[in-house]
Amino acid sequence: MDREIPALMGVSKAILENVIFVHQDEANWPLQEPGTLKKKFDDIFSATRYTKALEVIKKLHKDQSQEIKTYKLKLENLQTLKDAAYKLRESIAQDKEKTEALKSQMEELEKEIQTIDSKIHRAEATLKDLHQLQRDIATKNAERSTLFKEKEKQYAALAEENEDTDEELREWKTKFDERIALLESKISKLEREMNDSEAKSSFLKQSITNYIMEISKLQADAEAHAELKNERDFTLRKLFDRHNLGAVPTGSLSDDVASNLTNRIKLRLTHFDKDLQDKKKSNEAEIAAAWHQYDIANREWSEKEAQKQAKADIKNGILKRIKEKEDERDVLECQISDVNVAHLDEREKKMQIESERKSKQLAERAFDLNIRQKQTEMYTVDQKLKDLRDEKDHMAAESEDRIKLSLKKAELGILEKNHKKIMDDNKDKIKGVLKGRLPSDKDLKNEITQAQRALQREVDDLSVKSREAEKEVNMLQMKIEEVNHNLTKYHKDMDSRMKFLESKLQLMDQEFAGIESYPKIMDSVKEKKDVQKSKFNIADGMRQMFDPFERVARAHHICPCCERPFSAEEEDEFVKKQRVKAASSAEHIKVLAMESSNADSRFQQIDKLRLVYEEYVKVGKESIPQAEKNLNELNEELDQKNQALDDVLGVLAQIKAEKDAVDALIQPVETSDRLFQEIQARQKQVDDLEYGLDIRGQGVRSMEEIQSELDELQSKKDTLYSEVEKLRNDQRYMENEYASFQLRWANVREEKSRVANRLEQIKRIEEELDRFAEEKNQIELEEKHLAEAFGSLLKEKDKHFRDHNDLKIKLGEQLEEQAEIRRNYQQEVDSLLKITSKIKEYYDLKKEQRLNELQDKRSLSESQLQSCESRKDAILAEVKKSKDLMGNQDSLRRNIEDNLNYRKTKAEVDELTHEIELLEDKVLTLGGFSTVEAELKKLSHERERLLSELNKCHGTLSVYQSNISKNKVDLKQAQYKDIDKRYFDQLIQLKTTEMANKDLDRYYNALDKSAPIALTTTGTTISVCCILLRALMRFHSMKMEEINKIIRELWQQTYRGQDIDYISIHSDSEGSGTRSYSYKVVMLTGDTELEMRGRCSAGQKVLASLIIRLALAETFCLNCGILALDEPTTNLDGPNSESLAGALLRIMEDRKGQENFQLIVITHDERFAQYIGQRQHAEKYYRITKDDHQHSIIEAQEIFD
């Protein structure tokens, strides 16, 4: 969208953002900082593109120099392919000539074959006609034979052969047809009348049948009605007798009497319903009272259940948080499991030292100074080369081979020099890598590659070992952390249990002396419980003996203990004493029972703490010592593994240093090997050329001296260029390496910080887990106490629930018995009402009257049926008589038709005989079959001979065409496709690239005024570049003049103050070149010019910014007539606001003929809106307000004059 919108609106993005659509906060940019103003105007004029164009030209010149070398090699390859393609085209042309000759010969043969084919076609057509005639004759004979047989059959079937003419026979046939038609009409009328009589008879029979069925049904209903009345009477008497409802009259009951009795029965049913409802209400009251008792017990149980559930929820929440924290801890531990913090610290220190070393090394090389020196030397060499080339142009040109030889020698010298330089630069490094050896140039690359592979294998092996050792160290560290965590957990668990025991024991025993006194307290409480239990058992046993003693004494009059006889007084005294003791022992037993219960409860509470105490002792004496022992063993093993890891890392660092040295040699060695191969190839080419020219051993002539000097200078220039490129490459390489190293160093620091944060998070999570574990243990203990109180409440609740259910079942059974009596009575009443309704239905349907009417209708229908049957018999007799007469007339008519058919068949047989004779005459005219077949065979032999010759020609032609196709396929290969065009295009591309590259160099030097212009620059080129520069400067100055003119006019039309005559924008070139301009807004009063920024009021600043934007819009927005003003009257007084409105009106008046002009004004100043909102410019404006809910509402409103 950022590219599409400016393109569619016809302006640049800078114009859209800085001129057309500007927010109120950024509307005063023309009077902001000089840097901001320069950036805005540079964006508007697209000035930065000029500088970027220079950089692009420079880069393009360098890239094209490299491309020219590639194009030369491609051109040589294309020349070879072009020659091969020429040979293939010649072969194709020769084969095409031979093909054309064969084609002409084949055309003659094809003409002869066509002549023979036409003759064969005519003979075949004649033969085909003969066959068709023969088939027609056979068809006609078969047809005649069939008709002849038919004629004989018709003659034999004739009853009498009539000798009258055909016309007379047809006349007789017509008369007989008319008589038969009259008879058929009469018979059809009689048959219709017969059918009508049968239909009427059938209808009457059906009516009688229906009447009989309905009469029988009504008679059955009358009988059923009588039975229902008897059943009703019986039911009424039975109900009155069973339920004692009163006396019933004897005999048959009338309908009114039965109705009164039925109403009395219904009244008794309402009494049953009322009794049942009263029983339900009393049952519900008793059940509600029982349920109230259960509800009280259930509420108490529910409260305990809620407390228990709340504790369980709290416990589940704690367990869930523990699980979440453990998962979070596991994730963090997994993330840092492979990280060695000590190794990270060591890596950071090493990388810091290495970074300082690389920075110092980069500064010591002084790349920029060396590159400038080399460029100066290259410029001097270019001047000398130009002088030598001018001198060489005056001398006679030598042959192409000598020039080629000199070029090859020059190339050979450059290659040897470059090869020697590379070997000299890297000789010491190669000896260091190869243990003091310096192999030959041919074997150098192989040996360096082998050394690299061997070191790479060692590095890989050591890396695997180091990773394994580091993994073992990390595993041990994780185990140590886990043991430390367990040890801390044991200590905290032990402290938690100790605090719990101390808190509980202090509540039970005020003289508690510490956790170690728990066994003594346990023994003391158990002893007290046993003593109280024994006292209670003794007292209870004595109480149980008092009542038997009294009964024995009264029954046997003896002492129950010693069996001594009692006197009357002693017996009374003994019984009295036993009763007194029994009364006093009851109170004593209650006290002992309470004391025994308290002692047992105290013992139970102390005993419940026994498991907690045993766990406390077990953790202190077993778990903690074992964990400390494991921790010591793991620490010793970790020290050993760390030592082994340091040894492996040391060896790995040494091997990596050796490998880095070998890797640094790979590129120079590959370059050296490539140069060595090129040197051998060039040397072979030079030897071949020297041998061909036979110049070995001869003296050097002046042309060669010039060429030699040129070669030396060119070689020196190339060397300087390669040195400059090498310096630049080295500079880029070192800078990239330094930047990459800085990035790696930053990554290590970031990783170290990330690991430290995660370790801190793990520590914090461990603390939270310990706190959660303490809370969980406390909740579990509280749950145990709640579970004890929960059981008794549950039993009480279940008892009340069972009592409620038993009562509910008992009352339900009573209610069900009463309801059963009511249901039985209801069923008897329903049965009686059903019988009564059926009796009433019989009277309502008036079935007795209907029965009498149907009997009368049946007798009438039977008399009508009898008259219909007599009429049917008379019609049948008349129809039989008419059919006999019609049969006699039909036999005579058939005899006449048979005579006519026989005469017609005889005529057809005669006609077919004549046609067969005519076809036999045509066969004789065309000739016999044998003559035509012999001619056809002769023509076929001739045609086969010609086809054989034609096939031979086709075979030869296919050979030529296969050769042509093969050569064309070869030409269609990718290497030959458009070879001439490719060669020509490559040649043109090479030449044009060379020319363009020279022009780019000239244009760059001409456009970049800060760079020196080469002496080889032609006058024409300089003139064009100067024209281009002047055009750029002239465009900028014209636009600025146009902008300043519009600004001046708008200011004088708008501003109502007297202190500023007008304002203007000054643009000055920065430096001697034309790459950049500086801008400032000035105000003029008379001859005095001052910079406006910092010296104007807020209103003048707003007005100046608006006018500058209006001027820029007038200048640059011809294709986009949109201008948006956001609060333009901010800080403007009344006169200046009116003047601005007038200026906008004049702009609208000037632009009213422009189709795409649109002025958008956003303002709170209604007076300003009235000034510009006139009806000749717009019909509506839009007002934005807020409703009661603070929602924005936009409304279109009419503009009125």
Residue 385 three-state SS = helix
Sign of the torsion formed by the C-alpha atoms of 941, 942, 943 and 947: positive
Name which of 1106, 1159, 1097, 1105 is nearest 1133 in CA terms.
Answer: 1097
DSSP labels, 191-254: HHHHHHHHHHHHHHHHHHHHHHHHHHHHHHHHHHHHHHHHHHHHHHHHHHHHHT-----SSSPP
Three-state DSSP class for 1193? Answer: strand
CB 718 within 8 A of CB 414: yes
Please answer whether residues 1130 and 26 qualify as being in contact, where contact means their C-beta atoms are separated by less than 8 angstroms.
no
| DSSP 8-state class, residue 1089 | E
Q: How far is CA 583 from CA 249, 298, 537, 595, 629, in A?
A: 79, 39, 17, 20, 70
Are β-strands 1077-1085 and 1062-1069 bridged in parallel, bridged antiparallel, or unpaired? antiparallel
Cβ-defined contacts of 1016-1020 (< 8 Å, 24+): 1016/386
Beta bridge partners of 1184: 1194
DSSP 8-state assignment for residue 1014:
P
Closest CA to 619 of 522, 767, 501: 501
Do the annotations mark residue 1096 as ligand-binding?
Answer: no
DSSP-assigned beta bridge partners for residue 21: 1124
CA neighbor of 501 nearest in space, from 521, 530, 525, 524: 521
CA distance 439 to 442: 8
The Cβ of residue 569 has, within 10 Å, a number of other Cβ atoms equal to 8
Q: Which helix (H) or strand (E) holds 1085?
A: strand 1077-1085
Alpha-helical runs (H) found in 845-926: 847-926
Report which residue type is found at 13.
K
Q: Which two tokens stand for residue 21?
A: 């659509």
CA 621/CA 614 separation, integer angstroms: 11
Ligand-binding site membership of 559 (annotated): yes
Burial 667-702 (b: 16+ CB within 10 A, else e): ebbeebbebbebbeebeebbeebeeeeeeeeeeeee
Determine how β-strand 1121-1126 pairs with β-strand 1157-1162. parallel
918 to each of 126, 130, 913, how far by Cα in Å? 18, 14, 9
Please, are residues 830 and 163 in contact by the beta-carbon 8 Å criterion? no
- For residue 82, what are its two tokens? 């072009």
The whole-angstrom separation of Cα 1126 and Cα 27 is 8
User: Which residues, including other chains, have CB under 8 Å from residue 728's CB and lie 6 or more apart?
Assistant: 367, 371
- Terminal C-alpha separation, the chain: 41
Dihedral sign of CA atoms 47, 50, 52, 55 in order: negative
Annotated binding-site members: 559, 562
The binding site for Zn(2+) consists of 559, 562
